[in-house]
Amino acid sequence: MTLLDHVPVTPSEGAGDRGRAVVRALHALVRAEAGAEAQGAGIEAADLEQTVWLRLLERWPGSEGPADPARWVRTVMRAETRVARRRARRERVYTAGGPPDPATGCPERIVVGADERRTLRAAVGRLPGRCPRLLEAMLAPHDPTYREIAGELGMSQGSLGPMRSRCLGCLRRMLAAEVVAPELRGRER
């Protein structure tokens, strides 16, 4: 016995009336399932509900509906939720009409940023000992783990932190000596 067996349908009703009876019988179930599943998928419950109704119309146009409607609704609901999750992972926000990013929109900032990165890389190259190799490994674009860096440099993973601290301190002192102190403004006393 299925949910549709409890929907009263008179013998004089045609296929269209049977379809309306299916919608009446499944309405509460579809709404409840959409409300439960939509939050996890990051979509609106009404959109998910509408998609399930669309699937029902595509599958059974003018027929009596699924044999086990409750099971069918849950199956379709979970399938559509998976599709929505995959779509949300692939989609990117379109920001062409929004305000430009101040860090990337200004040509002067781009040039200054590139110059700062060049200065940093040059200063790292002038560090003593194993510091250049360690900091270059830590600045790698693929963001290696401490284990990968230790394996690459042939040293223990536990000594990376203290060595990194010493190297960064040396780099700070080196860069502080190269940076020009700002001018005093106003009246000097």
Q: How confident is the model at residue 89 (pLDDT cuts 50, 70, 90)?
A: confident
- Domain CATH code at residue 127: 1.10.10
pLDDT tens for each residue of 29-63? 889 888 888 877 778 888 888 988 888 888 776 55
Residue 74 located in a structural domain:
yes
Q: Are residues 49 and 113 in the same domain?
A: no
Q: Are residues 86 and 114 in the same domain?
A: no
Q: Are residues 109 and 141 in the same domain?
A: yes
Element (H, E) at 58: helix 45-59
Residue 183 located in a structural domain:
no
Element (H, E) at 114: helix 107-125
Residue 188 located in a structural domain:
no
Q: Are residues 74 and 152 in the same domain?
A: no
Q: Are residues 121 and 73 in the same domain?
A: no
Q: Enter the pTM of the model.
A: 0.40
Residue 96 located in a structural domain:
no
**Residue 99 to residue 85: CA distance in whole angstroms:** 28
Number of domains in the chain: 2
Residue 167, Cβ density class (10 Å: 0-12 exposed, 13-18 middle, ≥19 buried): buried
CB 92 within 8 A of CB 143: no
Residue 171 located in a structural domain:
yes
Within 10 A of 37 (CB to CB), how many other CB atoms are there? 21
DSSP 3: G
Task: Identify the domain boundary among 90, 123, 139.
Answer: 90
Higher-pLDDT residue of 178 and 98 is: 178
CB 52 within 8 A of CB 76: yes
**Is the pLDDT score of 182 beyond 70?**
no
User: Domain range for residue 52?
Assistant: 3-90
Token code pair at residue 49: 């509900």
Q: Are residues 62 and 118 in the same domain?
A: no
**Is the pLDDT score of 101 beyond 60?**
no
CB 35 within 8 A of CB 45: yes
Residue 50 located in a structural domain:
yes
Residue 153 located in a structural domain:
yes
Task: Identify the domain boundary among 21, 56, 90.
Answer: 90
